[in-house]
Structure formats: C-alpha cells, structure tokens
Amino acid sequence: MDMMKQFSLEGKVALVTGAAYGIGFAIAKGMASAGAKIVFNCRSQSNMDKAMAAYAEEGIDAKGYIADVTDEAQVADLVAKIEADLGGVDILVNNAGIIKRIPMLEMSAEDFRQVVDIDLTGPFICAKAVIPGMIKKGHGKIINICSMMSELGRETVSAYAAAKGGLKMLTRNICSEYGEANIQCNGIGPGYIATPQTAPLRERQPDGSRHPFDQFIVSKTPAGRWGEAEDLMGPAVFLASDASNFVNGHILYVDGGILAYIGKQP
Ligand code: NAP
Ligand code: GCO
C-alpha cells in the first residue's frame, strides 16, 4: 500500500471560506500542494484582487467568488456556481470568522449577534449548502475552524467563546447526522496564531517592548511561541484526506500544547 496516497487530495475540490489571507489562505496553500483544486470566497472585490495575486504568486490556480457566509442566498449561489464550474465541493473548510474583544457588560446584543452570525451561523449555512452535493457524491469532508475558546473562556471574548463552543457542538452534530452518508465533519482548534486577527495582541508597546498579552501567550504555550498559519496546513490536509476516513466528530487542537498545560510555576 502506498501510504502517502491516503493523504493525497488529487481530484478533490476544496472550498475554504474567507481564505483571502490568514489561516484560510495557509490551509488553502496546504490543500493545493496536496493536489486539491482551491475555491474560496471573500467579501470585497479589493480583497479578492489581492488574494488572486497572492495565490498566483504561490503558483496556485485558485477560483475566487464574492460571497458573505452569513447570507444564505449568496452561499447557495456560490455552491451552485462551484457545482456548475467544477462539479461540486468535496471538502468544505469553515474558516471565515471574526472576533470582537469587548467586556461582556459593555457589549451590545447586536455585536454579540454579529459574532455568532459569522462564526456559528455561517458554518451552519455553508455546511447545509454543500451536504446535499456530498451525499450525491457519496463522500464529503467538513472542517470547522474552532478555537481555544471552544474550551476556555477569557475576559472580553464572550460572543466569540459562545460561537466557537457552539461550533464544536455543530461539528459533533453534523458527524452524528451525516456520518452514515460517509461525511466526516471534524474541527481544528488552533492555538494562538500570528494573523491579522491577533495582530492587536502582539503590537509593540510605545517603549519597544513586547505586548503583555504576547508575553502571556508565549508563557502559556509549552512550544514557547505563537503558531504560524502554516502550522495548520498538515492537520487540515489530514482531516481532508482519506487518511482520516474513520475520524469523525473530533476536534484536533493545534495549539503548541496550551490545553495540556497548567501554566508556569511561580
Ligand atoms: P483573519 O486574519 O481575520 O481572517 C479572517 C477571514 O475571514 C478574512 O479573510 C475575512 O475577510 C473573512 N471573513 C470574515 N467574515 C466573513 C464573512 N461574513 N464572509 C466571508 N468571509 C468572512 O483571521 P484568522 O486569524 O486567519 O482566522 C481564521 C479563522 O480561524 C477564524 O474563524 C478565527 O476565529 C479562527 N481562529 C483564529 C486563531 C488565531 O489565533 N488567529 C485561533 C483560533 C481560531 P474580510 O477581510 O472580508 O473580513
Ligand atoms: C483572543 C484571541 C483568540 C484566538 C484564538 C485562540 O482574543 O483571545 O483572538 O480567541 O484568536 O481563537 O484559539
């Protein structure tokens, strides 16, 4: 048996949401190098132009569409176009997401709803749109990008933690409901990854020193560093490939060991 063949994504179409940059872009790069055809969406033409240039620079022939993951009609249209252009989606990565760091008592219900809408309802809408095509094909892989906040809380991220905790359970429910149709739905829980989303937590202080949160994360991480978006490529390829065909409803934490660690001794 050629073991490496099990990890190949040759002939597969992978839709990675919000993959103009950041974690989604890195996952798309990993899947492309494993042989998948990459399709992504983003919300604005200016991001699309920059993303297409970035994919071209990597030598990846990606197909980009403008669509907001919270808009059911736009997502249905996106999936119909992928079916017409490329024969449907084999792999969905629910990556698009936002965070709002606001103490709970200062957070409006509207802000809370917006985070839940993008980070939880968006993955529901996208999964719902691709599952019928996956059932017809007889296989499918759905990877939901969860978080440390699927397990842990912290000050200022109530909406994000509620959404990412919910996304963990949506993952298990999709597995429960569609496992029989040979659909595997798993999550990746990235640790603290250096992307635009976490840039405010890594900003240099006026005196040139590192942000206290940056130092806090490095001390909380047995690996002793922030993750890079590229750290997620291998885990994502594994969960998208035949190598994980009996892995279902699992959240794979890719966190440099944060969840295993009680923290530095005083
Ligand atoms: P990022 O750099 O902020 O990128 C997020 C992407 O999602 C952007 O391309 C953004 O596009 C897109 N997006 C947001 N709302 C969207 C919508 N309604 N429809 C379509 N696209 C939308 O974030 P990231 O750090 O790469 O994070 C990617 C995912 O990983 C998120 O779900 C995040 O919560 C999760 N995550 C991140 C970390 C981390 O430490 N960075 C850790 C754990 C989990 P726009 O430019 O249009 O906003
Ligand atoms: C925060 C961070 C986190 C990370 C990530 C951790 O403010 O605590 O943004 O939530 O982005 O999701 O896994």
The verdict on the CB of residue 192 being under 6 Å from ligand 1 is yes
pLDDT in tens, 208-259: 999 999 999 999 999 999 999 999 999 999 999 999 999 999 999 999 999 9
Is residue 142 one of the residues assigned to a domain?
A: yes
Q: Is 20 in the pocket of ligand 1 (CB under 6 A)?
A: yes
Indicate whether 207 belongs to any domain. no
Domains held by the chain: number: 1
CATH number of the domain within which 113 lies = 3.40.50.720
- Tell me if 107 is assigned to some domain: yes
pTM of the complete model:
0.98
**Is residue 216 one of the residues assigned to a domain?**
no
79: phi then psi, degrees, rounded to nearest 5:
-70, -35
Q: What percent of the chain has pLDDT over 90?
A: 98
Q: Is 215 a domain residue?
A: no
Percent of the chain with pLDDT over 70: 100
Question: How remote is the CA of residue 146 from the centroid of ligand 1, in Å?
Answer: 11
43 vs 266, higher pLDDT: 43
DSSP 171-204: HHHHHHHHGGGTEEEEEEEE-SB-SGGGGGGTPP
Question: Contact 137/88 with Cβ under 8 angstroms?
Answer: yes
Classify residue 254 by burial, with Cβ atoms within 10 Å: 0-12, 13-18, 19+: middle
Cross-sheet strand order for the sheet of 251-254: 63-66, 37-42, 13-17, 91-94, 140-145, 183-190, 251-254
Residue located nearest, by CA, to atom 20 of ligand 1: 68
Q: Closest ligand 1 atom, CA of 227?
A: 40
Domain for residue 209, yes or no? Answer: no
Q: What is the pLDDT of residues 77-135, one digit of tens each?
A: 999 999 999 999 999 999 999 999 999 999 999 999 999 999 999 999 999 999 999 99
Q: Point out the ligand nearest to the CA of residue 146.
A: 1
Q: Are 154 and 111 within 8 A, CB to CB?
A: no
Distance 225 CA to ligand 1 centre (A): 21
The confidence score (pLDDT) of residue 226 equals 98
* Residue ID of nearest Cα to ligand 1 atom 10: 18
| Mutation pick for ligand 2 pocket among 147, 154, 218 (CB with most ligand atoms within 8 Å) | 147
Domain hosting residue 79, numbered range: 3-193+228-260
